[in-house]
A and B are shown apart, each in its own frame.
Chain A
């Protein structure tokens, strides 16, 4: 899926980022940006589970692997935009902030929110991932074959 063919790609990307990011990182950026938009709560934050599925043989039929915790909430800004937050774990504050950012991203403030919150959040997560990948790469095996002395 890419941005050209999928009209929802941009929103999907920010919602996915907000779902996966650490609550502490989001909290720090939220506080720095001094965000406090006027809103009403459409659905109070609720902790639940999602059944995670895998595929038999990695590519075959789906099966139920086990559940994970997820918190969701929905908000409406005073200006009318609805925002939805679905985040991993049981943090209701994080879910509310995710929903508010989703709503704000549909307003004229989108560019400012992206610069203040989403871009640094993404950069931080990419850095963490790159460091982990670099450690994994350092454990890559270089096989070499010994010359067999048979003749």
Chain B
């Protein structure tokens, strides 16, 4: 039961004023600008864009500043802003095969056509704190080697050509959108991919890790992980043709997983897919593993009862804004709710004591004081 409570306005104003001051921190330290966050905390910006489900680096950087670096709060701000925007339409599906790659690695084919490029990765660093970063200084320029004209086709397409991998069926129907109609189960793969793409990185990572540890084991290889820039095209009604309306950075992960086969069909590898805004390979790999685990039904596998196979469990708990909203609401006033619980427990205790047939003079005395306090705080 929810009842409006009055009387906290002055306290709330004071709390927000103090929040603004605390956000600024020590005034003798230079203030952080939004472009500084956008350029120097880019991976935080990427996460806010991915889970906020809105690609706009400036807005994500502003949200991080406003939320004092609490990324889930920043994602909340972006989600709220997103709902104020009119929707102009949907894009043509992006062509990740035409990506200008910053990074492209394959764990399955050493000699991938187009080559493997490490890009600006944390991999192979020693994970030792670099105290040079605590001092200001020039960064040495990155090496440059003129890029050839080599194309970087999807590595999976080579397996596809040999028929070794389960084919994807291409349909151009408009996919369902869980921001427009509430998610219903069973969910189709397009809806699952949308939910995973905007789901909490930590939750998706935990689910993916559980599949590796043996809960719905499906042994994934990363056939290809690529990060880079792709153009976004949309049909413009007033023009009558499609134009590029921008370009975005995305991370894509394609996994190749163990086989499926039947009496009529020879064994084939199966696939999982991850696609995320920005540079976010932990999330993209996790998404691919969870996508694959959730496909057990369409691939004719057994339900092992593993959490990562349970689409209700995964999809209904992956959204950190829904989760945080419901979780954090329990800190808000529940005085009347709790009052009824108090009355119930007192009644139960009275009955229990009466049944014990040993009446006590002091029963209820200690609780009386508390009851008085709760009534004072109770809503009108």
A residues touching B (Cβ–Cβ < 8 Å)? Answer: 6, 8, 11-12, 15-16, 19-20, 46-70, 72, 74, 84, 86-90, 129-141, 143
A132 in contact with B55 (CB, 8 Å):
no
CB proximity to A under 8 Å, residues B135-161: 142-148, 154, 156-157, 160
Asked if B174 is at the interface of the complex by the 8 Å CB criterion, the answer is: yes
Q: Which residues of B lie under 8 Å from residue A61 when comparing CB positions? A: 168-171, 173, 175, 189-190
A131 to B214, CA, bound (A): 44
B54 in contact with A66 (CB, 8 Å):
yes
Q: Which residues of B lie under 8 Å from residue A11 when comparing CB positions? A: 239
Binds A, one of B193-201, B313-321, B339-347: B193-201
Binds A, one of B4-12, B205-213, B229-237, B361-369: B229-237
Residue of B nearest to A20 (CB): B247
| A51 contact from B89, B115, B156, B169, Cβ within 8 A | B89
Size class of the B contact interface (CB-based, 8 Å): 35 or more
A52 in contact with B232 (CB, 8 Å):
yes
Q: Which residues of B lie under 8 Å from residue A135 when comparing CB positions? A: 142-144
A58 in contact with B96 (CB, 8 Å):
yes
B91 in contact with A59 (CB, 8 Å):
no
User: In the complex, how many angstroms separate the beta carbon of A91 from the nearest chain B beta carbon?
Assistant: 10
User: In the complex, how many angstroms separate the beta carbon of B61 from the nearest chain A beta carbon?
Assistant: 13
Q: Which residues of B lie under 8 Å from residue A74 when comparing CB positions? A: 238
Residue of A nearest to B88 (CB): A48
User: In the complex, how many angstroms separate the beta carbon of B191 from the nearest chain A beta carbon?
Assistant: 8
A-B contact count (CB 8 A): 231
Asked if B87 is at the interface of the complex by the 8 Å CB criterion, the answer is: yes
CB proximity to A under 8 Å, residues B76-111: 82, 85-94, 96-97, 100-103, 110-111
Asked if B177 is at the interface of the complex by the 8 Å CB criterion, the answer is: yes
Q: Which residues of A lie under 8 Å from residue B190 when comparing CB positions? A: 56, 61-64
B97 in contact with A84 (CB, 8 Å):
no
A49 in contact with B87 (CB, 8 Å):
yes
User: In the complex, how many angstroms separate the beta carbon of A100 from the nearest chain B beta carbon?
Assistant: 16
A129 to B291, CA, bound (A): 33
Give 8 closest A-B pairs by Cβ, nearest first.
A88-B246, A60-B168, A16-B244, A134-B144, A63-B190, A68-B55, A133-B147, A57-B168
B146 in contact with A56 (CB, 8 Å):
no
B93 in contact with A55 (CB, 8 Å):
yes
B residues touching A (Cβ–Cβ < 8 Å)? Answer: 49-50, 53-56, 58-59, 82, 85-94, 96-97, 100-103, 110-111, 115-120, 142-148, 154, 156-157, 160, 168-175, 177-179, 189-191, 193-194, 197-198, 228, 231-232, 234, 236, 238-248, 250, 252, 254, 271, 273, 275, 277
A63 in contact with B193 (CB, 8 Å):
yes
Residue of B nearest to A84 (CB): B238
B170 in contact with A60 (CB, 8 Å):
yes
B54 in contact with A49 (CB, 8 Å):
yes
| With A58-B154, A58-B254, A64-B175: A16-B231 Cβ-Cβ less than 8 Å | yes
A70 to B231, CA, bound (A): 14
A68 to B254, CA, bound (A): 23
A138 in contact with B50 (CB, 8 Å):
no
Q: Which residues of A lie under 8 Å from residue B273 when comparing CB positions? A: 56-58
A16 to B248, CA, bound (A): 13
A136 in contact with B102 (CB, 8 Å):
yes
Q: Which residues of B lie under 8 Å from residue A136 when comparing CB positions? A: 101-103, 117, 119, 147, 228
A140 in contact with B116 (CB, 8 Å):
yes
A55 to B167, CA, bound (A): 13
Q: Which residues of A lie under 8 Å from residue B145 when comparing CB positions? A: 134, 137-138, 140
A138 in contact with B144 (CB, 8 Å):
yes
6 contacts between A and B (CB under 8 A): A16-B231, A51-B177, A61-B175, A86-B245, A135-B144, A139-B119
B245 in contact with A141 (CB, 8 Å):
no
A16 to B245, CA, bound (A): 6
| A138 contact from B89, B92, B142, B238, Cβ within 8 A | B142
Residue of A nearest to B87 (CB): A49
